[in-house]
Chains A and B, each alone.
Chain A
């Protein structure tokens, strides 16, 4: 688990994949990329999201998520999580999850479950920032 200042650069995803390739026993990598959406709220457009985190707890909880995934999916060989802190503009990447497994089925399932656990368990908060620089704290919605 790594917290990254600002948006997650596409190069960080390439680095994750390159690193995952070092494990030649894996046959499938499932990648989730979360992007800040330009929502419209009461006529105002979201310019970006300001993320804040309880960093020490994020690391300990992410470690628990990895252990849960690895114990629940016996074909999964690794889980990587990147998440932004600070301001991420609309259209930029705020989260990346990469689940590596021997075969595709568990890679897909593990990636999906990890994303849900991240949203449920990691102490991270987001404030939508509008074009007039006003802000609004936002809670996670189902799916």
Chain B
């Protein structure tokens, strides 16, 4: 399946991008491995993950077209 991955805040600086599309993703674990290969430094930072605007706690089941966002600690206000 194809999914979109978004990076925000400091993580957009670390990865040098705000969005990347991944094709033929088999699972969240597979996606995580591929992101780790592309941006190994990403995993030195604190973040939470949202799928389609909802924070997820564990490895979510992905659907084609899902939007996965890497969210560093929030800092609004």
Contact = CB atoms under 8 A, between A and B. Distances in A.
B61 to A, nearest CB: 20
A13 interface: no
A139 B53 contact: no
A60 B52 CA distance: 11
B77 A123 contact: no
Contact of A52 (B8, B50, B77): B8
B9 A137 contact: yes
Given A54-B71, A56-B53, A60-B53, A140 B76 contact: yes
A121 B50 CA distance: 12
Most buried by A among B71, B72, B74: B74
Chain B interface size range: 10 to 19
Contacts of B65: none
Contacts of A120: 74
Contacts of A124: 74-77
Contact of B77 (A34, A53, A54, A137): A34
A138 interface: yes
Nearest to A141: B75
Contacts of B77: 34, 94-95, 115, 118-119, 124, 140
Contacts of B71: 54, 123
Nearest to B72: A125
Interface of B: 6, 8-10, 12-13, 50, 53, 69, 71-77
Given A51-B76, A83-B76, 14 more contacts: A52-B8, A52-B9, A53-B76, A54-B6, A54-B53, A54-B71, A95-B77, A119-B75, A123-B8, A123-B69, A125-B72, A137-B72, A139-B73, A140-B76
